[in-house]
Amino acid sequence: MHHFSLIKLFSSFAMLGAEWVMWVLLAISVVSISLMVERWRYYRALRDDLDLLADRLNERLRADDIEGAKALLRNSPSPAALVALAGLDDIRRGAGAVEKVMGAQTARVRPRLERNLTFLGTVGNNAPFVGLFGTVIGIIQSFDALKPPAGLRGTAAAAAATAATGRIMGTIAEALVATAIGLLVAIPAVAAFNAFGRRVKSLLMSTETLSQIVLAHAHSVDSSEVDLKHLIGLLRGDGPSDRAAVVATPSIPRPEPVPHGVLTGEVVS
C-alpha cells in the first residue's frame, strides 16, 4: 500500500523547473507596463492650470455670472471642474444641497482616478516573491542533482559527481535569474504606483479647492435671499417691527374749581 507523501508530490512538481515561473513574471510585466502607459496617458489628458482656473472661477462667481462660470468649467478637462460644475448646476437649491451634490460627484470621480492602481501595487509587492519561488524550485533541483546515481562506484561514481556539479551550478544560476526577473518586474510597478498615487492626491486636492469656491458662493446666495425675504417682510408688515419703548408721562392733576365768591370776598350762604 502506497502512502500519500506531500513532500514527494512537491518534489516532482519542482522537477518541472523554474522556467514557467519566468514566463508568468514576463506576462505580469507586459500587463503592468501596458497599465502604466494607459494611466500615464489618462492623467496627461486631465492636465490643466488649476490655479488659473480657480482664480477665473472666483471672478465669475463674484460677478454673479453663473453661466460664465459654467462655461469656464465645461472647457476644462480636469475632474475638479466636473465636480464644481455639478455644484453650480444645483446652486439654487441652497448651500447644503450643493455640498452634498459635489461630495457625491467626488465619490464618482475617485474610482476613475484610482483605476488599475491596485494591480500595480499588488505586482510591486508580490513579484519579488514569485521570483523567489522560482529560485526555491531551482535550489530543490540542485540538491536533487547531488544524489549519486544508483549502481555506480569508483571512477564512474566520481565522474558522475563531477558532471552533477556542473549541472548544479547551471541550475542555481537559472534559479537566481528568476529572482532577478521578479525584482525587475516589481521596481517599475512600485515606482509607477507611487507616482500615480501622488497625481491622484493632487487632483483630489484641486477638486476640494474648486468645491470650496462654489460652496462659498452658495452660502452668499443663501444669505442674500434671507436678507431679501426679511426686507420684504418688513415692508409688508409681516415681520416684527422695532418699536421704541413708550415712557409713560405722569399726569398733572387738574385744579379743583374755586367756590363762587371766594375771590370777590362775598359770603356764600
C-alpha–C-alpha distance, residues 201 and 198, integer Å: 5
Neighbours of 28 (CB within 10 A): 21
79-89 helix and 66-74 helix, angle to the nearest 10 degrees: 150
Per-residue pLDDT, 248:
45
What cell numbers appear for 14 in the block?
Answer: 519542482
Residue 135: half-sphere exposure toward Cβ, Cα within 13 Å: 15
CB atoms within 10 A of CB 6: 7
Each domain of the chain, given as residue ranges in start order, spans: 6-146+154-235
At 213-261, the pLDDT tens digits run 999 888 887 665 544 454 455 445 554 444 444 344 445 455 555 455 4
pLDDT for 228 = 41
Which mean pLDDT values do the consecutive 10-residue runs of the chain (269 residues) have?
62 70 91 95 92 91 90 92 91 87 92 94 94 85 66 53 64 81 94 95 91 88 53 50 43 52 45
DSSP 8-state class, residue 243: -
pLDDT of residue 268: 44
Quick one: how many helices (H) and strands (E) in the chain? 8, 0
Contact at 8 Å (CB) between 76 and 92?
no
Number of neighbours of residue 146 by Cβ within 10 angstroms? 11
Residue with cell 533541483: 141
**Residue 258 CA neighbour count, 13 Å, CB half:** 6
